[in-house]
């Protein structure tokens, strides 16, 4: 926002120089204020400290200003040096134009003033979803999002740059030139999808250079997608204006976002915070590796999931009630479990009684977002490969699956079993099917499906789901940009609620049992939404960067901080690869999260 940012750094040691501190300086605290050009305070501005690579703890720390424009970074920072202090302010529709530094020698206080000016071009801060406002037809938009926002945002900066290149071609028929250009790009993306999934299969599959229709991220209806791109992505796409978050920003001066960057190459998928002392566990689907980050120090190590030489590709992470880690793969039928107390891994490669290999996606969990089993101790899973739900018995390793019933009238929409939850009685599991706009349940004792229940838009794209203590189910509708509220006891839809930005591609829904709200991370909107079931109202928490492709979100049961990740895949896709710890700043939980004592 337009204005000045004042940072006050108080050092607990003898002042050396007003503008130059030695590398061995003691830790400093950072505080300040944001004002507009008329000296008025500005609230809910992001203030971002992009720290030195060698710094301990998080790579980047972000705080927000309060109603008086004041902010304060938590903790002290040895890498806060006055001559090289990478702190900046960020807000939608504004840009930083200058920075001045002054110092008060006697008090060892540094004051930094940033001047920011309004700009009509929001391209530096606006999310990719902002550009999709030009697609007015909702069904065209939902179909496009469901096809094209899988492994990266659309339109990401690279996509917009490509649009600018083909828009500026001096062609006799510009529409034809754009169509050919987008057709080539979409086929190339299908080529990459086929390559990505072939490399984990162990086969010698030859990738079709014209784009095969194989793999989870392929674009099946190429002509429709190409026509949408050619019609709506028809200019340089380097400016955007008039975008707003669409709901009240819920950040305050207690809100903190800690970001931990993971060095390339990687294909980060999901993150959990486990153990004591706290560690972030990140799945890298491009390897067998779990990346482990010490929350306090920031130190990173690799742990290999033992799979006897088979490429697992850790994908979905689930927290056990005993604080253990459960891992499911991207490529195969392996389930991994790590006992945090003993440090021991156990893995199972599942085969059903009739010889089929399950394509495991989610394991059964409940309202506390912890792994659940049925009364016989069986763990249930969604099988994306066979469009089924099934179980396995950890003691025996036995497994079985039941193929989902067809969704009437939607046989042409390729079904893909996706999210899975278990009810409070542990006698039903409920699922979402990504590709045909359908949800349903499975009665465990009767071994019978419940439903299916269709959403109005076949491209709604229901993804990850959650459930409350009262068996109310919430489903993130990725394609249509909505949240489904469904009562699994009455088998009835309570409501379908548009997100503040329907192009934001909500990836998951997570129930917060203390705050009594649903958290919704977005893949295309660079925000996390908070939904209050009592009022049916949204709040929005902006992330401190673009291309923040978010997937699952977990909640620490003691402190209430949110655990998430930026998860652009495959490896060559641009965008940040980070794990996140987010304190919403509402003091809703009895314990306060700090890096020193998480």
CA distance 12 to 9: 10
Q: Provide the angle, in degrees to the nearest 10, between the axes of the packed helices 174-198 and 222-232.
A: 130
pLDDT, average across residues 77-106: 76
CA distance 215 to 195: 9
pLDDT for 539 equals 98
Give the homologous superfamily in CATH for domain 256-583: YVTN repeat-like/Quinoprotein amine dehydrogenase (2.130.10.10)
Cross-strand bridge partners of residue 120: none
pLDDT for 373 equals 97
pLDDT of 201 over the 80 cut: no
pLDDT of 178 over the 60 cut: yes
* Confidence label for 598 from pLDDT (cuts 50, 70 and 90): very low
User: Is there a contact between 421 and 430 (Cβ–Cβ < 8 Å)?
Assistant: yes
Within its chain, how far is the Cα of 270 from the centroid?
8
CA distance 326 to 115: 48
pLDDT for 15 equals 31
Write out pLDDT tens, residues 401-448: 999 999 999 988 889 999 999 999 999 999 999 999 999 999 999 999
What is the sign of the dihedral through the CA atoms of 207, 208, 210 and 215? negative
The domain at 4-118 falls in which architecture?
Sandwich (2.60)
pLDDT, average across residues 536-552: 97
pLDDT for 509 equals 98
Cross-strand bridge partners of residue 519: 510, 530
pLDDT for 110 equals 64
pLDDT for 153 equals 95
pLDDT for 106 equals 36
Closest to 256 (Cα-Cα) out of 91, 48, 79, 68 = 48
pLDDT for 308 equals 84
pLDDT of 182 over the 80 cut: yes
CA distance 437 to 448: 20
Closest to 476 (Cα-Cα) out of 425, 424, 422, 418 = 418
Structure tokens at 361: 């996606």
Domain boundaries along the sequence of the chain: 4-118, 128-232, 256-583
DSSP codes joined into one string, 226-252 = HHHHHHHS-S------S---SS-B---
Peptide bond into 248 cis (omega under 30): no
Within its chain, how far is the Cα of 574 from the centroid?
15
CA distance 6 to 478: 40
Q: Under 8 Å CB-to-CB from 206, ≥6 apart: which residues?
A: none
Write out pLDDT tens, residues 297-324: 999 999 999 988 888 889 999 999 999 9
DSSP annotation of 532: E
CA distance 349 to 143: 35
CA distance 567 to 93: 26
Write out pLDDT tens, residues 211-226: 455 555 678 789 999 9
Cross-strand bridge partners of residue 280: 273, 293
pLDDT for 27 equals 67
pLDDT, average across residues 265-285: 93
CA distance 92 to 329: 38
Write out pLDDT tens, residues 379-400: 999 999 999 999 999 999 999 9
Farthest-apart Cα atoms in the chain, separation: 79
pLDDT of 199 over the 90 cut: no
Helix%, strand%, coil% for the chain, nearest 5: 10, 35, 50
Q: Is 22 helix (H, G, I), strand (E, B) or coil?
A: coil
What is the sign of the dihedral through the CA atoms of 439, 331, 579 and 297? positive
DSSP codes joined into one string, 429-480 = EEEEETTTTEEEEEETTTTEEEEEEE-SSTT--EEEEEE-TT-EEEEEETTT
* Confidence label for 573 from pLDDT (cuts 50, 70 and 90): confident
76 vs 228, residue with greater confidence: 228
CA distance 532 to 472: 13
pLDDT, average across residues 474-487: 98
Structure tokens at 200: 């984990």
pLDDT, average across residues 99-127: 74
Give all strands (DSSP E) within 351-395, no chain letters.
Answer: 360-363, 379-383, 388-392
Closest to 64 (Cα-Cα) out of 588, 598, 584 = 584
pLDDT for 22 equals 37
Write out pLDDT tens, residues 399-409: 999 999 999 99
CA distance 316 to 326: 8
Q: Is 157 helix (H, G, I), strand (E, B) or coil?
A: helix
* Confidence label for 8 from pLDDT (cuts 50, 70 and 90): very low
pLDDT of 23 over the 70 cut: no
pLDDT for 102 equals 65
Q: What is the residue-averaged pLDDT of the chain?
A: 89
Number of neighbouring beta carbons within 10 Å of residue 207: 19
Structure tokens at 95: 């840009």
Cross-strand bridge partners of residue 482: 477, 498
pLDDT of 108 over the 80 cut: no
CA distance 195 to 214: 9
CA distance 566 to 257: 13
pLDDT for 103 equals 52
CA distance 186 to 196: 15
């Amino acid at each position: 926002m337009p204005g000045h940012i004042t940072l006050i750094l108080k050092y607990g040691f003898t002042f050396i120089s007003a503008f130059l501190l030695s590398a061995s300086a003691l830790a400093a605290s950072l505080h300040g204020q944001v004002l507009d050009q008329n000296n008025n305070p500005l609230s809910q501005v992001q203030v971002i400290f992009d720290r030195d690579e060698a710094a301990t703890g998080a790579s980047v720390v972000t705080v927000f200003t309060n109603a008086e424009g004041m902010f304060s970074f938590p903790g002290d920072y040895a890498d806060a040096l006055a001559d090289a202090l990478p702190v900046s302010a960020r807000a939608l529709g504004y840009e930083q134009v200058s920075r001045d530094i002054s110092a008060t020698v006697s008090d060892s206080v540094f004051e930094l003033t940033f001047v920011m000016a309004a700009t009509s071009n929001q391209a530096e801060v606006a999310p990719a979803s902002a550009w999709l406002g030009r697609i007015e037809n909702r069904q065209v938009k939902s179909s496009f999002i469901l096809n094209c926002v899988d492994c990266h945002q659309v339109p990401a900066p690279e996509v917009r740059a490509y649009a600018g290149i083909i828009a500026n071609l001096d062609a006799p028929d510009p529409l034809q030139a754009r169509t050919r250009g987008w057709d080539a790009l979409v086929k190339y993306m299908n080529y990459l999808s086929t390559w990505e999934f072939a490399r984990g299969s162990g086969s010698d599959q030859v990738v079709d250079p014209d784009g095969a229709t194989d793999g989870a991220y392929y674009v099946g209806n190429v002509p429709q997608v190409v026509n949408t791109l050619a019609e709506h992505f028809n200019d340089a796409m380097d400016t955007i204006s008039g975008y707003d978050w669409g709901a009240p920003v819920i950040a305050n001066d207690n809100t903190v976002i800690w970001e931990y960057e993971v060095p390339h190459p990687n294909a980060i998928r999901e993150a959990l915070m486990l153990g004591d002392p706290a560690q972030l566990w990140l799945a890298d689907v491009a390897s067998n590796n779990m990346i482990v980050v010490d929350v306090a120090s920031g130190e990173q190590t690799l742990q290999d999931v033992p799979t006897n030489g088979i490429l697992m590709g850790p994908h979905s992470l689930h927290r056990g009630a005993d604080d253990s880690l459960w891992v499911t793969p991207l490529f195969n039928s392996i389930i991994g479990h790590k006992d945090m107390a003993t440090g021991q891994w156990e893995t199972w490669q599942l085969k059903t009684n009739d010889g089929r290999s399950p394509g495991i996606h989610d394991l059964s969990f409940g309202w506390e977002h912890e792994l659940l089993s049925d009364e016989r101790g069986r763990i249930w899973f969604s099988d994306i490969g066979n469009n089924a739900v099934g179980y396995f018995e950890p003691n025996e390793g036995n497994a079985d699956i039941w193929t989902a019933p067809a969704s009437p009238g939607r046989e042409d929409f390729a079904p893909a079993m996706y999210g899975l939850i278990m009810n409070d009685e542990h006698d039903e599991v409920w699922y979402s099917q990504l590709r045909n706009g359908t949800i349903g349940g499975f009665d465990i004792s009767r071994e019978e499906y419940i439903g299916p229940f269709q959403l109005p838009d076949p491209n709604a794209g229901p993804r990850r789901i959650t459930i409350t203590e009262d068996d109310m189910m919430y489903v993130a509708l990725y394609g249509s940009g909505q949240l489904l509220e469904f009562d699994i006891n009455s088998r009835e839809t309570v409501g379908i609620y548009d997100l503040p930005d329907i192009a934001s591609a909500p990836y998951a829904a997570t129930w917060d049992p203390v705050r009594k709200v649903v958290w919704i991370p977005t893949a295309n909107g660079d925000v996390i939404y908070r939904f209050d079931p009592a009022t049916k109202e949204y709040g929005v928490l902006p992330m401190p960067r673009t291309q923040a492709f978010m997937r699952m979100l977990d909640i620490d049961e003691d402190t209430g901080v949110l655990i998430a990740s930026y998860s652009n895949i495959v490896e060559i896709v641009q965008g940040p690869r980070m794990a996140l710890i987010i304190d919403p700043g509402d003091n809703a939980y009895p314990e306060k999260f700090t890096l020193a004592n998480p």
